[in-house]
Structure 1
Amino acid sequence: MGKSKGSRIVITLECTCADDIKSNTRKKGTMRYSTCKNKRNTPQRLEINKFCPQCNKHGLFKEIK
């Protein structure tokens, strides 16, 4: 049997530019990334600057449930 992952969980990051979709967009929908984090080391919600192909620029991605 394999080991359990312990305190690492899979999270979803969503672009905050979803509100600005009406202007300067190439596609419809929201851009999301999935990653994992250690919930013991970072109990608060994660915020990372990543590239959004819909906005065609780097933007803030926030953790969603």
Structure 2
Amino acid sequence: MAKNKDVRVTVILECTSCVRNGVNKESTGISRYISQKNRHNTSSRLELKKFCPYCYKHTVHGEIKK
């Protein structure tokens, strides 16, 4: 059988400001989103601006390892 070499892969995006600041004192966690990217078009790590419910603002969410 052939190995699974999908072009589209699922990635997890995590809030970079929550991780850097050690999570706000009022918050209960770190904001994470699940998205997909095309491995051939975007070989580097993905970074998107998303809303973080713990920071209460739009922040940069970067791709993390599974």
TM range (shorter): 0.7 to 0.9
1:22, CA displacement in angstroms? 3.4
CA–CA distance in structure 2, aligned partners of residues 36 and 11 of structure 1: 6
TM normalised by structure 1 equals 0.81
> Please, which of 18, 24, 48 is the counterpart of residue 22 of structure 1?
24
Q: How many residues align?
A: 60
Change beyond 3 A, Cα 1:64–1:10: same
The runs of at least 4 consecutive aligned structure 1 residues that moved more than 3 Å come to none
Residues 11-64 of structure 1, C-alpha deviations (whole Å, 9 max, x = no match): 0000011222235x4x21111000000000000000000100000000000000
Aligned to 2:40: 40
Matches within 5 A, 1:5-16: 6-16=6-16
Structure 2 segments unaligned to the other structure (5+ residues)? none
CA contact under 8 A between 2:24 and 2:54: conserved in structure 1? no
TM normalised by structure 2 equals 0.80
Structure 1 segments unaligned to the other structure (5+ residues)? none
Percent identical among aligned pairs is: 43
Instruction: Please give the root-mean-square deviation of Cα atoms over the aligned residues, in Å.
Output: 1.8
